[in-house]
Homo-oligomer: A and B are copies of this chain.
Amino acid sequence: MLQISQRGQAMPASPIRKLVPYAEAAKKRGTKVYHLNIGQPDIETPKMVLDAVRHSDFKVLEYSHSAGNESYRKKLVGYYESVGVKVNHNQIIITTGGSEAIQFGFMACLDPGDEVIIPEPFYANYNGFAVAAGVTVVPVTSFIENGFALPPIEEIEKKITPKTKAIVICNPNNPTGYLYSYEEMQQLRDIIRRHNLYLFSDEAYREFCYEGKQISAMHLEGVDDNVIIMDTISKRYSACGGRIGALITKNQMVLDAVMKFAQARLSPPSFAQIAAEAAIDLPADYFDETKAEYKSRRDLIVKRLNAMEGVFCPNPGGAFYAIAKLPIDDADVFCQWLLESFSYQNQTVMLAPATGFYGTAGLGKQEVRLAYVLNLNDINNAMNCLEQALKEYPNKK
């Protein structure tokens, strides 16, 4: 019998997408579904970004440089400088989405059997990239009670073994929205220095911080060789379908190794590199408007959630996600029930059960992630649905 690989079996199915068939069935029944389950922003991609592609006039859709167009990387140097990150264009490798940056980083730095420590809940696809690379994810739990702050440094240190090669953070965080403080980033700096670890820092949501400012892993001193940034334009410019990201590091050995993986897959997408390059020329106040929009959505969703009986939602400092604790038995069952058995004024809401974001089995069973990627009116309607659903749901806790 032909068999698939063990890693093909071990590969996790997307915890976000597994409810899709239930949502499709609900829509077929004529129920409107508010999608708070996935980080696909409704914000329009800036017109000048799309127009750069639409007005392009090349004759041959050629491979680009394996590291991405030099003109784009050179312009990115200026962008990174504007966020306090000093790199040259040879320290930037353009990837096919942030996804490929994670994959390249894991492949180039980690071997099968190696361990990476990740504060949980974490972006579920880190699991997939870890399985693909044969790497073991070691979760350190952060808690909703203190807004998912970085776990105490002693808890992280307890998890370090001779096989530990890296710590992975996402800052501001998907799925919690937590923004790491200056002190926390210093603690991370100390620990990676003391134990000689890589720090993979996923900074996809850099611009979306609503009170404080993001501290990039590249702002940390004395750890130039340890830090690898995984970045993407997907959320920044609402350009998820472009599939343009970047891996950034000052570690030349890592750059050399990553380049070999980059060459094997030839090049990142050419059309979207044109868009991404144009995005650097957006006016300086571009993010102000987007940020203001997300902030008002966050304020609304957090307020609405905390006003529901038995619901707790800490105020996230960044990104466009919030995790809420609900008075229910099992978030997976509840989220499926929302789509399968519930509607309010012929509407319902699709949420992501938080279980999929925890590495430790059994955690997050009462929690859901909400992506506030809908306008204020839709968020209000979605919250009306959720409020009503919590009253009707039979398995309350």
The interface of chain A, by Cβ under 8 A from chain B, is 1-9, 11-14, 17, 40-45, 49-50, 53-56, 58-64, 66, 96-97, 99-100, 103, 107-112, 114, 125, 128-129, 132, 134, 196, 198, 225-226, 238-243, 251, 253-254, 256-258, 260-261, 263-272, 275
Contact = CB atoms under 8 A, between A and B. Distances in A.
A254 B4 contact: yes
B100 A240 contact: no
A239 B58 CA distance: 12
A242 B263 contact: no
B96 A5 contact: no
Contact of A100 (B59, B254, B265): B265
Contacts of A272: 61, 269-271
Contacts of A238: 60-61
| Copies of this chain, tallied across the complex | 2
Contacts of A269: 96, 241-243, 269, 271-272
Contacts of A128: 260-261, 263-264
Given A8-B257, A125-B264, 17 more contacts: A1-B196, A5-B110, A5-B111, A5-B257, A11-B257, A17-B263, A40-B62, A42-B60, A62-B240, A96-B265, A97-B266, A99-B266, A125-B266, A128-B264, A129-B264, A132-B264, A243-B268
Given A265-B99, A267-B243, A50 B61 contact: yes
Contact of A8 (B4, B7, B134, B260): B260
A182 to B, nearest CB: 24
15 contacts: A4-B109, A5-B109, A7-B107, A8-B107, A42-B60, A49-B61, A53-B271, A54-B55, A61-B275, A63-B240, A99-B266, A241-B269, A242-B269, A242-B270, A243-B269
Contacts of A114: 5
B2 A261 contact: no
A55 B12 CA distance: 38
A8 B44 contact: no
A374 to B, nearest CB: 13
| In the A-B complex, the 8 residue pairs with the closest CB atoms | A241-B270, A128-B264, A8-B257, A271-B271, A14-B263, A99-B265, A11-B260, A269-B269
Contacts of A196: 1-2
A269 B96 CA distance: 8
Contacts of A108: 4-5, 8, 11
A323 B180 CA distance: 56
B9 A257 contact: yes
A41 B59 CA distance: 12
Nearest to A17: B263
A120 B243 CA distance: 34
A189 to B, nearest CB: 14
A342 to B, nearest CB: 26
Contacts of A11: 108, 257, 260-261, 264
A127 to B, nearest CB: 8
Contact of A45 (B7, B59, B66, B134): B59
Nearest to A241: B270
